Amino acid sequence: MLELGPGPGRFTPTILSSGARVVAVDLSLAMLRALHRRKPVRAQSRRLAKVRAAGEFLPFRDGAFRGAVLYGNILGFSARDGRWLLSEVARVVRPGGTLIIDVSSPVGATTEFLENGARRRFLLRVLRDPEYYLLNAVIGSGARVHSPFAPERWAFWEFDFYTVPAAQKALSAAGFRTIDRMAVGPIGAFRERLTAIARRDRRAWRNLVELEERVGRRPGVLETGHGFVMAAVREGRKSRTRSHA
């Protein structure tokens, strides 16, 4: 089993507990060392191999694995190379093999931003002047997303968000057939606070409703998920090349 982007090993013990032999691939040497230090991982280390590599250039033969696990929104962080990463994963997973992947959604990301706004008491300022805080860029389409998590600084993420149909399309293009999907990370704790803050003036409420509509949420309803998990099966072999040209 391939685990791509295990980080410090939050999910590795669970994968190992299934009895599978796991190859953990991470670009960060520090993360692989942290993985090695984790006690539940060391207890099952005989069935674990650690490899430092990029997901876009996996150093394995075609069909080397019976399945792959990509937790931690690896696809989103790969940004422009997301399609290439999925193609590489498909190359090393044999036909009939499984893929488990979690994906971050624009709905969840916007909700998280609004939660932070409510918690840090700057939501009303954001909603009165959303363009100032780049919210139009946060919920817009494109390969890059500006996300001002704190209003006192501007952040630039090399990060992609996927809707469920977009994720299914990307998986299909790589050679995977989606067999199941599940929403994760339900959010509801700040719903009343968000609506109370937004209702302070008409303009703020109008902006909030517009934001909700644009990211695909029912107006006035803030219970959603940070993202979703998808299960897919590798279909028949497609011809692939390792060149970006």
Structural domain span for residue 192:
106-159+188-214
Task: Give the model confidence (pLDDT) of 184-226 as tens digits.
Answer: 654 444 567 777 888 888 888 877 777 766 666 555 554 445 6
Residue 156: is its pLDDT beyond 50?
Answer: no
- What confidence tier does 104 reach under pLDDT thresholds 50, 70, 90? confident
26 and 16 inside one domain: yes
Task: Determine, yes or no, domain membership for 165.
Answer: yes
Task: Determine, yes or no, domain membership for 81.
Answer: yes
109: Cβ–Cβ under 8 A, 6 or more apart, which residues? 138, 145, 147, 161, 226
* pLDDT at residue 121, as a whole number: 78
120 and 17 inside one domain: no
Query: What CATH number did the domain enclosing 68 receive?
Result: 3.40.50.150
What percentage of the chain exceeds 70 in pLDDT? Answer: 72
179 and 62 inside one domain: yes
Mean pLDDT, rounded, of the chain: 78
48, amino acid identity: L
What is the mean predicted confidence (pLDDT) over 57-85? 89
* pLDDT at residue 178, as a whole number: 95
- Give the E-state strand segments of the chain in sequence order: 2-4, 22-26, 48-52, 65-70, 93-104, 145-146, 156-157, 176-184, 227-234
Task: For tokens 């919920």, name the residue.
Answer: 139
100 and 169 inside one domain: yes
Task: Give the model confidence (pLDDT) of 22-40 as tens digits.
Answer: 999 998 898 999 998 888 8
Residue 152: is its pLDDT beyond 60?
Answer: no
135 and 72 inside one domain: no
The count of domains in the chain is 2
55 vs 78, higher pLDDT: 55
155 and 177 inside one domain: no
* pLDDT at residue 89, as a whole number: 97
* pLDDT at residue 145, as a whole number: 40
* pLDDT at residue 243, as a whole number: 42
Task: Determine, yes or no, domain membership for 243.
Answer: no
53 and 152 inside one domain: no
9 and 91 inside one domain: yes
Beta-strand relationship, 156-157 and 48-52: unpaired
Q: What single DSSP character describes residue 37?
A: H
Task: Give the model confidence (pLDDT) of 130-151 as tens digits.
Answer: 766 655 555 554 444 433 343 4
CA 99 to chain centre: 14
Task: Determine, yes or no, domain membership for 15.
Answer: yes
Task: Determine, yes or no, domain membership for 205.
Answer: yes
Task: Determine, yes or no, domain membership for 178.
Answer: yes
110 and 28 inside one domain: no
175 and 60 inside one domain: yes
Task: Determine, yes or no, domain membership for 33.
Answer: yes
176 vs 204, higher pLDDT: 176
Task: Determine, yes or no, domain membership for 245.
Answer: no
- What confidence tier does 64 reach under pLDDT thresholds 50, 70, 90? very high
